[in-house]
Amino acid sequence: MDSGEYEHDMASREVCANGVCMKATDVEAKLDEGNIQEAESSLREGLSLNFEEARALLGKLEYQRGNVEGALRVFEGIDLQAAIQRLQPSLVEKPPSKKGRTRTESQHAVSQHAASLVLEAIYLKAKSLQKLGRLTESAQECKSVLDAVEKIFKQGIPDVEVDNKLQEIVSHAVELLPELWKQAGWHQEAISAYRRALLGLWNLENDCCTRIQKAFAVFLLYSGVEAGPPSLGVQIDSSYVPKNNLEEAILLLMILLRKFHLGKTKWDPSVMEHLTFALSVCNQTSVLAKQVEEIMPGIYHRVDRWNSLALCYSGAGQNKAALNLLRKSLHKHERPDDLMALLLAAKICSEDSYLAAEGVGYAKRAISNAEQQAEHLKGVGLHMLGLCLGKQAKICSSDFERSRLHSEALKSLDGAIALEHNNSDLIFDLGVQYAEHRNLNAALRYAKEFIDETGGSVIKGWRLLALVLSAQQRFSESEVVTDAAFDETAKWDQGPLLRLKAKLKISQSLPMDAIETYRYLLALVQAQRKSFGPFRVNPQVEDDKFNEFEVWHGVMFEGRGQTQEALGTYIGAFLVDPHYVPCKILLGSLMLKMGSDALPVTRSLLSDALRIDPTNRKAWYYLGMVHRDDGRIADATDCFQAASMLEESDPIESFSSLY
């Protein structure tokens, strides 16, 4: 009813009981004179009520016309606790036998009538206090409603036997209590009240239960108050019991989603947003993907769903799945201009040489769309374009094409940095691109800038600087940088730095120092294996590749002269990753020793290696050997020359190992 209508009806309001009615305005007039007693006695006489009934009605009248202070005064005149005491025996004695059924039922009806009268009075007292801002007192009153109900109905509220009025008050009180504690700042009480609401037998209707579940999930997620696990008393064997806030919130939100899937509640978009937040914050976007997939069609537009799923999969490291979804959503009949999707697709493609060409397309579309939609994202588009072009150059078969792509990549990245001058990721990528292009001075400048921009907080920045210096054959400076990096790194993260340092020692013809450093590295690896269980995460150290292990195994066989074993191991590693360059080269160098029959295979292996990594000095060298053994002296000379030129600008470890 809208308020105008309500005003109009004010005059026709009535107070009724025992089949008699009185005009509400007559009673209110007495109340307005400040005379509660008189109002009360007129009700008692006019409607044949006892004292408590009359007071309860008066309080409700005051409450409904918005005079909460008046209502409170009326309610304070009733000893509600005594009334509760009186209520208890009559109901508790309820015999469970079937024989005396009719008698107990009628007794029930009377008692329930009395119970709901008292409980409603207490509840309205709580509401009045709430409206007056006296939250703690309000919560205490509200709690006493629930305590009373628990005393009266020891077995929980029965489904059928309770009249609507009583059930309504109970449901209201159950829902209100945690909100009151929460607003009054009594956080632990709020948590207990929420759990009491959800775990008690209150016979709540679905919507009410849904509201409480959602409110509790929100409280758990955002209050910052750690709830602690629920008490042992409520835990049931073999059922899932959440042990912290995030788990409990996620559980409740998933239950809410399931209720929706089962058609038990209305769709509430905020539930999905809360769940998205919770699951992303705890790195579980793959679980989130499952939840998004289960949402029925018609809730989200399909493109939105695809894009959300792509984000989920990408967040979980499943980039292939993400890209497949983005391809669908970026199709010309769907939403081809979505900037976020274009950028994410380009980023995913930029990590794989074989997808890089596709990524170039996405990045170019992103750039032209950014110019219209969001200028600030143009730099990101250029950045992605540069990465994709650089990656594309790696698998390019012609030298001419490769150098064209390389310089375009650099042009894009330079364009990006003009727009995003302090984007550290971009600075790093520029450093690597220049280094791979053997523009070592520019690479050095960006490597230094990256370390400044990040305050030396990213290990790969230190490694880039050290590698660039080593490519400039400035080994001792490179070692100084490596040592500085040690100071900024915790012990467990020093593995890659130790390896770098050992190689630097070798380059400086200090093999004994190198051995010493390798010994540290070995000790570190062993200690790491012992110390860490499955929970160890190290965001800054790349996974040790299984292949590298295999290859080293092969090197050892080869060193011992066990050619066949070495060959077997290399081929094994080759099968695991056919694009792994060090393996191709080792295999090539080994087969080179196996006579002229193996030369064609060796040649194709090494050419392949050079296609992937055209600046690989060793590949050029061995290819030169192949040409020499085959009698192509001019070709051999070219290869050796390339190898020797590269040696002058060869980093101690490949620049691509930085990613």
Partner 1 sequence: MSNNTATFEITVAAGESAPPSNSFSKTDEAIRYLSTILPSIPSSLSSSSNPSLSLLHDPEISTHISALLRRPSAGTGDDNLCRWLYDAFQSGDPGLHLVVLRYIPLLAGAYLSLATLWRPLAGFEAILLALYSHETTSRAGQPVTVNVPDMSHPSLYHESTSPAKNNSTALNLSIVSPTLEPHGAVRSTRRARIVGVALELYFGKIHEMPKSSKIDFCEFCRVWAGDRDDDRNKQSDPSRVGEVNDSEDGVAGRRIPLPWELLQPILRILGHCVMARWANDKEVFDAAKDACRSLHVRAVHDTNAKAILAAESLLRLGNMASLELTNEDEAADPTEIPTTNILTLN
Chain positions 286 to 325 lying near partner 1, rule: CB under 8 A, are 286-288, 308, 310-312, 314-315, 322
Rounded CA-CA distance 446/443 in Å is 5
Cβ of residue 391: shortest distance to partner 1, in angstroms? 15
Contacts of 258 (CB under 8 A, 6+ apart): none
Residue pair 118/111 in contact (Cβ under 8 Å)? The answer is no
Q: Which stretch binds partner 1 (CB under 8 A): 91-99, 150-158, 226-234, 517-525?
A: 226-234
**Residue 437, CA distances (Å) to 257, 562, 650 in order:** 53, 38, 11
Is the CB of 144 or the CB of 615 nearer to partner 1? 144
Choosing from 255, 295, 357, 612, the residue that interacts with partner 1 (CB under 8 A) is 255
> Which 3-62 positions form the footprint of partner 1 (CB under 8 A)?
6, 9, 12-17, 21, 24, 49, 53, 56-57, 60-61
> Which 156-195 positions form the footprint of partner 1 (CB under 8 A)?
163, 165, 168-169, 172, 175-176, 179, 182-183, 185, 187
* Site pattern 93..132 for partner 1 (x: CB under 8 A): --------------------x--xx--x--xx--x-----
Q: Which stretch binds partner 1 (CB under 8 A): 97-105, 276-284, 598-606, 616-624?
A: 276-284
Is the CB of 225 or the CB of 612 nearer to partner 1? 225
Is the CB of 371 or the CB of 577 nearer to partner 1? 371
Is the CB of 51 or the CB of 546 nearer to partner 1? 51
* Site pattern 465..504 for partner 1 (x: CB under 8 A): ----------------------xxxx-xx-----------
Q: Is 308 left (phi over 0), alpha (psi -120 to 50) or beta?
A: alpha
Rounded CA-CA distance 211/621 in Å is 72
Choosing from 277, 520, 552, 640, the residue that interacts with partner 1 (CB under 8 A) is 277
Residue pair 9/25 in contact (Cβ under 8 Å)? The answer is no
Cβ of residue 278: shortest distance to partner 1, in angstroms? 9
CA dihedral 137, 142, 148, 150 (to 10 degrees): -130
> Which 567-626 positions form the footprint of partner 1 (CB under 8 A)?
none
Cβ of residue 561: shortest distance to partner 1, in angstroms? 42
Is the CB of 423 or the CB of 473 nearer to partner 1? 423
Choosing from 101, 154, 243, 545, the residue that interacts with partner 1 (CB under 8 A) is 243
> Which 346-375 positions form the footprint of partner 1 (CB under 8 A)?
347
Q: Is 580 left (phi over 0), alpha (psi -120 to 50) or beta?
A: beta
| By the rule CB under 8 A, 524 interacts with partner 1 | no
* Site pattern 397..436 for partner 1 (x: CB under 8 A): -----------------------x-xxxx-----------
CA atoms within 13 A on the CB side of 416: 28
Helix (H/G/I), strand (E/B), else coil: 515? helix
> Which 64-93 positions form the footprint of partner 1 (CB under 8 A)?
64
Rounded CA-CA distance 388/355 in Å is 8
Is the CB of 48 or the CB of 368 nearer to partner 1? 48
Structure tokens at 575: 């099968």
Strands (E), 415-536: none
Cβ count near 215 (within 10 Å): 18
Choosing from 107, 280, 403, 607, the residue that interacts with partner 1 (CB under 8 A) is 280
Q: What is the largest CA-CA distance in the chain?
A: 127
Convert 92-117 to b/e letters by CB count within 10 Å (16 or more is b): eebeeeeeeeeebeeebeebbebbbb
**Residue 325, CA distances (Å) to 65, 293, 295, 328, 637 in order:** 58, 12, 16, 5, 50
Closest CA to 342 of 299, 301, 372: 372
